[in-house]
């Protein structure tokens, strides 16, 4: 088994090593990650400058690009065109709940793996402190083994969030839907040392749609949250409505 691992926190992030160590018990791990923190890079690709690849002291490949770049470089260069059996991304140092999924580079690496045609899994620890990364490592190992036994099918990935608690404190697993975050205070104005206006994008707000059944709710109650995602964004439920509009349009 060849397991391709990436993240968006960068090649030096502790969560990456915990994931690589946990999955080394499942198969051969190949780690290809951004050379620095690229959180919130989403699925962006680097097309304006060439990419460079260096090797870290741990034998990880560090790419001067985004998580999505890393998966492409891994497939076409590091693995010389060979496909990995699975792509696992993380362990992100922070939650990827609700709308975060759209912005997340962690999820994007999994999506890029899915585009290659292999099963893929995004792992995040729902805490900035990350005191219990090994809990997420254990969860990642089990879910990787499961996905290797039984693929979800093309277009589908798993987005997994793990509460930052010891393994024996976990209450179990919940299959969840994406909630939504509040949209208040997204931009925080401030002043630089020359009194010029600057703006910080604020850290993620709390959950707004965070009730039972959501990823937020599972984490809040010390469950592992597993959200199956599909990469196809088509809103099939809107087909009839949009079709009826189209029938009234004229050329
Ligand atoms: Mn990150």
8 Å CB contact between 92 and 15: yes
* pLDDT digits (tens), the chain, 251 positions: 999 999 999 999 999 999 999 999 999 999 999 999 999 999 999 999 999 999 999 999 999 999 999 999 999 999 999 999 999 999 999 999 999 999 999 999 999 999 999 999 999 999 989 999 999 999 999 999 999 999 999 899 999 999 999 999 999 999 999 999 988 778 989 999 999 999 998 877 888 899 999 999 999 999 999 999 999 999 999 999 999 999 999 88
Q: What is the whole-number distance in angstroms between the Cα of residue 39 and the centre of ligand 1?
A: 4
Q: What is the whole-number distance in angstroms between the Cα of residue 106 and the centre of ligand 1?
A: 6
Q: What is the whole-number distance in angstroms between the Cα of residue 248 and the centre of ligand 1?
A: 46
Q: For residue 77, what is the DSSP state?
A: I
8 Å CB contact between 208 and 184: no
Q: Which residue is it, tokens 């002291």?
A: 57
Q: What are 191's strand-pairing partners? A: 197
- Report the pLDDT value the prediction gives residue 23, as an integer from 0 to 100: 98
Q: What is the whole-number distance in angstroms between the Cα of residue 1 and the centre of ligand 1?
A: 26
Q: What is the whole-number distance in angstroms between the Cα of residue 237 and the centre of ligand 1?
A: 32
Q: What is the whole-number distance in angstroms between the Cα of residue 236 and the centre of ligand 1?
A: 31
Which residues have a beta carbon within 5 Å of ligand 1, which is an ion? 8-9, 39, 92
Q: What is the whole-number distance in angstroms between the Cα of residue 148 and the centre of ligand 1?
A: 25
Q: What is the whole-number distance in angstroms between the Cα of residue 10 and the centre of ligand 1?
A: 8
Task: Determine the angle formed by the axes of helices 14-23 and 133-149, rounding to 10 degrees.
Answer: 40
Q: What is the whole-number distance in angstroms between the Cα of residue 150 and the centre of ligand 1?
A: 28
């Amino acid at each position: 088994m060849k397991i391709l691992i990436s993240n968006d926190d960068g090649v030096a992030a502790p969560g990456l090593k915990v994931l690589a160590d946990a999955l080394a018990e499942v198969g051969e791990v190949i780690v290809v990650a951004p050379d620095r923190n690229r959180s919130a890079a989403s699925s962006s690709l680097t097309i304006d400058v060439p990419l460079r690849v260096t090797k870290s002291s741990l034998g990880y490949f560090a790419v001067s690009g985004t998580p999505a770049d890393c998966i492409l470089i891994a497939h076409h260069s590091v693995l010389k065109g060979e496909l990995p059996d699975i792509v696992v991304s993380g362990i992100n140092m922070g939650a990827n709940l609700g709308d975060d999924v759209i912005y997340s580079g962690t999820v994007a690496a999994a999506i890029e793996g899915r585009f290659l045609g292999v099963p893929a899994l995004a792992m995040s620890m729902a805490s900035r402190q990350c005191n219990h990364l090994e809990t997420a490592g254990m969860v990642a190992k089990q879910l990787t083994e499961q996905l290797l036994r039984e693929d979800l099918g093309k277009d589908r990935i798993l987005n997994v969030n793990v509460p930052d608690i010891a393994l024996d404190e976990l209450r179990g697993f919940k299959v969840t839907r994406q909630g939504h975050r509040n949209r208040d205070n997204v931009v925080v104005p401030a002043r630089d040392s020359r009194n010029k206006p600057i703006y910080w994008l604020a850290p993620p707000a709390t959950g707004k749609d965070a009730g039972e059944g959501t990823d937020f709710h599972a984490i809040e109650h010390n469950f592992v949250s597993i959200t199956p995602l599909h990469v196809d964004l088509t809103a099939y439920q809107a087909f009839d409505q949009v079709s009826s509009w189209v029938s009234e349009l004229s050329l």
